[in-house]
């Protein structure tokens, strides 16, 4: 599988990759255990600090790793990984090491203990910023403290979940800059 060559990416720009709504892979680690989960329910909440809110349900094996470490990495996969993204979401880290099972390369992160997935287009290192809605909704608010992204292609072919086993693959680009007020870009 392709390993994307990445550079540091401004954390204030993570919206460029998350706002379109891709399915992501969340990697986590705690006390020698590590895991990956597939996650589709997330939203940007602020540019600076770069806040991302997301649902990590208690039924996921990753929940305890994230809750206890208060960290994770949000990895953005592209269509080449689509089958693995589904299969990662359809097995439990309680029984398998998903890095080994899916032949994914774990890289050491700069700011968090959770590993980066080398085969993903981008990796966002996250620290817990607010857990106020965690117990009621399984909703975590993370701050992206360090970001890495591939330089090419400029617009990755991310995958977006429609439910019922169907995904939408990121399509053509549309430049509507001319209709924006500059401060609204």
What is the closest distance, in whole angstroms, from the C-beta atom of residue 168 to its own copies in the complex?
Answer: 5
User: Of 26 and 29, which CB lies nearer to its own copies in the complex structure?
Assistant: 26
Q: Are 147 and 10 in contact (CB under 8 A)?
A: yes
Residues at the site binding its own copies, with contacts judged by CB under 8 A: 13, 15-16, 19-22, 40-46, 51, 53-55, 79, 82-83, 86-87, 89-90, 130, 132-133, 136-137, 139, 141, 155, 157, 159-181, 184-185
Handedness of CA 12, 75, 72, 109 (dihedral sign): negative
Q: How many C-beta neighbours within 10 Å does residue 88 have?
A: 23
User: Of 100 and 174, which CB lies nearer to its own copies in the complex structure?
Assistant: 174
What CA–CA distance (Å, rounded) separates 43 from 90?
Answer: 23
User: Of 32 and 182, which CB lies nearer to its own copies in the complex structure?
Assistant: 182
What is the closest distance, in whole angstroms, from the C-beta atom of residue 16 to its own copies in the complex?
Answer: 4
- List Cα–Cα distances, 88 to 23, 35, 44, 67, in angstroms: 12, 10, 24, 20
What is the closest distance, in whole angstroms, from the C-beta atom of residue 109 to its own copies in the complex?
Answer: 24
Between β-strands 106-107 and 139-150, what pairing exists: parallel, antiparallel or unpaired? unpaired
User: Of 2 and 137, which CB lies nearer to its own copies in the complex structure?
Assistant: 137
What is the closest distance, in whole angstroms, from the C-beta atom of residue 31 to its own copies in the complex?
Answer: 28
Between β-strands 24-30 and 33-39, what pairing exists: parallel, antiparallel or unpaired? antiparallel
């Amino acid at each position: 599988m392709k390993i994307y060559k990445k550079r540091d990416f401004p954390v204030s720009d993570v919206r460029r990759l998350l706002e379109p709504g891709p399915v992501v892979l969340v990697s986590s680690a705690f006390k020698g255990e590590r895991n990956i989960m597939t996650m589709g329910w997330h939203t940007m909440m602020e540019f600076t600090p770069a806040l991302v809110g997301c649902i990590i349900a208690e039924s996921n094996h990753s929940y305890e790793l994230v809750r206890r470490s208060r960290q994770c990495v949000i990895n953005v996969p592209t269509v080449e990984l689509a089958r693995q993204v589904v299969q990662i979401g359809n097995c439990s880290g309680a029984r398998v090491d998903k890095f080994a099972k899916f032949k994914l390369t774990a890289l050491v992160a700069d700011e968090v203990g959770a590993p980066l997935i080398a085969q993903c287009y981008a990796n966002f290192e996250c620290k817990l910023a607010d857990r106020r809605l965690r117990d009621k909704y399984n909703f975590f608010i993370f701050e992206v403290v360090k970001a890495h992204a591939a330089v090419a292609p400029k617009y990755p072919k991310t995958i977006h979940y429609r439910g019922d086993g169907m995904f939408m693959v990121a399509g053509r680009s549309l430049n509507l800059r001319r209709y924006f007020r500059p401060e609204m870009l």
